[in-house]
Structure 1
Amino acid sequence: MHARDDWPPVVDLIERVVGEDDLLPSVVATVRTMVQEIAALPSADIAGHTRALLAAATRALAARRGPTEAELSFVEELAVTRARQGVSIESVLAAVHVAERAIWSRARELAAGAGVAPERLLDARELYDDWAEAVRGRLITAHRATGADREPPSGGRDAALLRRLFAGGSAAALAAAEAGLPAAGGLWVLVARPEDAAAAPERAPRDPGAPALSALVDGLLVAVHARRPPARAARAVRAGAAAGVAGPGDPEGLAFVRRLAVAALAAAEAAGRSGVVHIAEVAALAAVVDRADLAAVLLDRHEAALTGLGANAGPVALAVRAWLEADRDVPAAAERLFVHPNTVRNRIQRFSAVTGIDPAGTFGAVDAWWLCRAWLARS
């Protein structure tokens, strides 16, 4: 190194480059163009982390030192953040490299005009490379410590992508991009019981005109389609079984869409429906089925009625439920239960007498169906 008074112009040059108004937007745009996994991240996210790294590097060059523990702690946080977003360590390093190349390319352009000799700029680059090597090492170590780089088990790629989709935020956007799914709107979620699947998840029917993912996730067969599943998607479940579907939604909100699809499945099963059932077809029923807390309140309120019915509680609940599900058609309910129509009428009257609920009314019918379902679930 030359005398220390040769160094301030180098620091001024680097600070000038880093402080240029158009540098950061240019770096962000280049990173998003060249690194596919990074492209789905918000520009503000990329810009914020890039700005922090550049500031840390400038401080290190000014002091002619390596990275401090405080700077390396920030690097670790960046690595963990990217890992949770589903960004591979290779993509993280590629993004850093793009930013480095932009900085030093601009510095070489301005060096002569700033009075910085080529050898002095080379000294600065060597010092920076030492700093950057320590930073890269910490990035790799921290990223790998999250386990994000472990390969999913055989056949688990779709499952891994689905979990990232349901994580929400930028992780979901990145997963959608990797799967070739649209980044805005148009995503549909279909769920079914594994035992009801007509085929293994990897052979589940897909729409050849649009990308789709399907796998077992949290005990359910889950499929994400790039457009509403066609009618033939009913072949994804065995005859007589149900599947719930919801959508459309953006990747960032797909966890909510999945919850609606699960609610649709539960409601379809509660109503004895089969095939693919959209949440909009069973919205009111889904709202009821999803509230176990209110079902418990209803059970508690009518505990005395259940006790008073004794051994007749099951037959009475079955009759009321069958009658309501048959749209209050007594003969149809009787045929379903293999009893005389008068038996159905008598059991409905008995239910109304002991509970005080009028199942003939609109809201009384909801409470009656809900209570009878809860009684039968307890038996």
Structure 2
Amino acid sequence: MSKWDSIADLIERVVAAPDLIDDVVEEVRASIREISGLEASDVARHTRALLAAATRAIASRRGPTEAELSFVEDLAVTRARQGVPIHAVLSAIHVAERRIWARAKVAAAQSGVEPALVLDARELYDDWAQEVRARLLQAHRTVEATERAIDTDADTVRRLLQGGSAASLAAAAAGLPATGVHVLVAPHPDLAGLTAAVRRARVGVVTDTEAETIAVVGRLPGGLAGAPGPVGVAGPGRPEEAATLRRLAAAAARAAQARGRTGTVGVAEVATLAAQQDRGDLAALLVERHAAAVDGLGRVADHTVATVRAWLQCGCDAERAARAEYVHANTVRNRVAALTAATGLDPRDPFQAVDLWWLCVTWQARRT
């Protein structure tokens, strides 16, 4: 065994000692207030992984690999999102370092390993640890900056939706124009990637609510036209009109969902559907009026409603609707005849056709 192999083996035995991790975790949680609330298993898992990586680096006489630095980034992100400040993370690492090298000196003396080798190993470790700390700091600060941006955006959107002078001041602070803003709304889950698109293009502010992602922008970000999810768009308008634009954009997004459309959908493109989506009270009255007639169709009621909706959305083409619903065209015609006879709604009348489609959409929504 070479001299370096002997010091590498010694460090590996020190790190592998059964009580080392427990001692480190106990001291870290007792002495560092910001980490005391974390689960011991969490602290132990990350400490063990870091020490194992350091041991491999010493044995190979190298700096950290990209895989090791990626793990360090993950640790920084985890701790930042747990609210643990960077100084506490670095202090915890220092505790582990102090424990390891104190034990290494004792073990070296007992094993006859030259003190100079221990010093060389420590210098190599310090070089490794310097790169690790730099990546920790960078990743932790990136998360903190992102979290601050999220909080700032959320507050700005909230003030924009208040309207009046609060909206004007919020728009000015966010660098939004005094005229020509657009509001974009993506229902959750945000399949279109609205948040990422707005932040990448730096065109406005964006935040999440329980039901949707809302963005107020000075110009439309790229990359959304072919997105896999719908994004309702309303505007342009003044920042003071953001609340109204948000309501219109949300209605457009719901209308786009109802029609199976994706990408950006302007409210004017789906004006009739958006108006319907915005009037849940009228939808409820429509269902109430025809509920008995639909229920009277018995076990096939839900299938009938789905088929009639597909027929209407296929331009009243029985063949297209049959392919969409995986049924025979005659089945489509029979179900259309059954529902129209039961409700008295005549799809040849454009206004009644809209009512029939609205009834089908609302009926299905209430069944899910």
Q: TM-score, normalised by structure 1?
A: 0.55
* Counterpart contact for 1:234–1:275, Cα < 8 Å: yes
Q: How does 1:201-240 map to 2 (within 5 A)?
A: 201=195, 203-205=196-198, 208=201, 211-227=203-219, 229-230=220-221, 232-234=223-225, 237=227, 239=228
Residues 106-121 of structure 1: matches in 2 within 5 Å?
A: none
State the match for 1:249 in structure 2.
Answer: 237
CA shift for structure 1 position 295: 1.4
Query: 2:273 matched to 1:281?
Result: no
2:163 aligned to 163, 168, 193, which one? 168
Partners of 1:344 and 1:256 lie apart in 2 by: 40
Whether the aligned pair in 2 keeps the contact of 1:204 and 1:214 (CA below 8 Å) is: no
Q: Which residue of 2 aligns with 1:186?
A: 180
Q: Displacement, 1:297?
A: 1.3
Q: Tell me, what secondary structure is at the counterpart of 1:312?
A: helix
Distance 1:291 1:254, change over 3 A: same
1:332 and 2:308 equivalent? no
Task: Using the TM superposition, give the Cα deviation of residue 169 of structure 1 relative to its aligned residue in structure 2, in angstroms.
Answer: 0.4
Q: Partners of 1:329 and 1:196 in 2: how far apart?
A: 33
**Cα–Cα, structure 1 residues 190 and 332, in superposed 2: closer, same or farther, change >3 Å?**
same
Task: State how far apart, in whole Å, the 2-side matches of 1:262 and 1:367 are.
Answer: 21
Call closer, same or farther: CA 1:199–1:231 in 2, change over 3 Å.
Answer: closer
Q: For the Cα contact (< 8 Å) 1:206–1:233, is it kept in 2?
A: no
Structure 1 runs (4+) greater than 3 angstroms displaced: 197-200, 205-208
**Post-superposition offset of 1:282:** 0.5
Describe the shift of the 1:200–1:293 C-alpha distance in structure 2 as closer, same or farther (beyond 3 A).
closer
Q: 1:303 deviation in Å?
A: 2.2
Corresponding residue for 2:190? 196
Whether the 8 Å CA contact 1:211–1:226 is kept in 2: the answer is: yes
Counterparts of 1:200 and 1:369 in 2: how far apart (Å)?
Answer: 30
- Write out aligned runs for 1:1-379 (5 A): 154=148, 155-183=150-178, 185-197=179-191, 199=193, 201=195, 203-205=196-198, 208=201, 211-227=203-219, 229-230=220-221, 232-234=223-225, 237=227, 239=228, 241-379=229-367
Match of 1:38 in 2: none
Partner SS, residue 346 of structure 1? helix
Q: 1:206: how far off?
A: 5.4
Amino acid of the residue matched to residue 204 of structure 2?
A
Q: Which amino acid aligns with 2:309?
A: R
Partners in 2 of 1:173 and 1:221 — Cα distance? 21
2:198–2:204 CA contact under 8 A, matched in 1: no
**Partner secondary structure for residue 196 of structure 1:** coil
Q: Residue 263 of structure 1 contacts residue 290 of structure 1 at CA under 8 Å; is this kept in 2?
A: yes
Identify unmatched segments of 5+ residues in structure 1. Answer: 1-151
**Number of aligned residue pairs:** 221
Q: In the alignment, residue 298 of structure 1 is paired with which amino acid?
A: L
Q: CA deviation at 1:153?
A: 6.5
The 8 Å contact of residues 165 and 173 in structure 1, kept in 2 or not, is answered as yes
In structure 2, C-alpha distance between the alignment counterparts of 1:263 and 1:198, rounded to whole Å: 16
- TM-superposed CA distance for 1:156, in Å, is 0.8
Identity between Structure 1 and Structure 2 (%): 49
RMSD (Å), alpha carbons: 2.1
Contact 1:159 1:217 in 2 (8 A): no
**Secondary structure in 1 matching 2:234:** strand
Tell me the alpha carbon deviations over residues 23-64 of structure 1, each in whole angstroms, 9 at most, x when there is no partner: xxxxxxxxxxxxxxxxxxxxxxxxxxxxxxxxxxxxxxxxxx
Partner Cα distance (1:159, 1:230) in 2 = 19
Contact 1:205 1:233 in 2 (8 A): no
SS in 1 for 2:297: helix
CA distance in 1, matches of 2:268, 2:200: 22
Quick one: structure 1 residues 294 and 219, their matched pair in 2 at CA, closer, same or farther if it must change by over 3 Å? closer
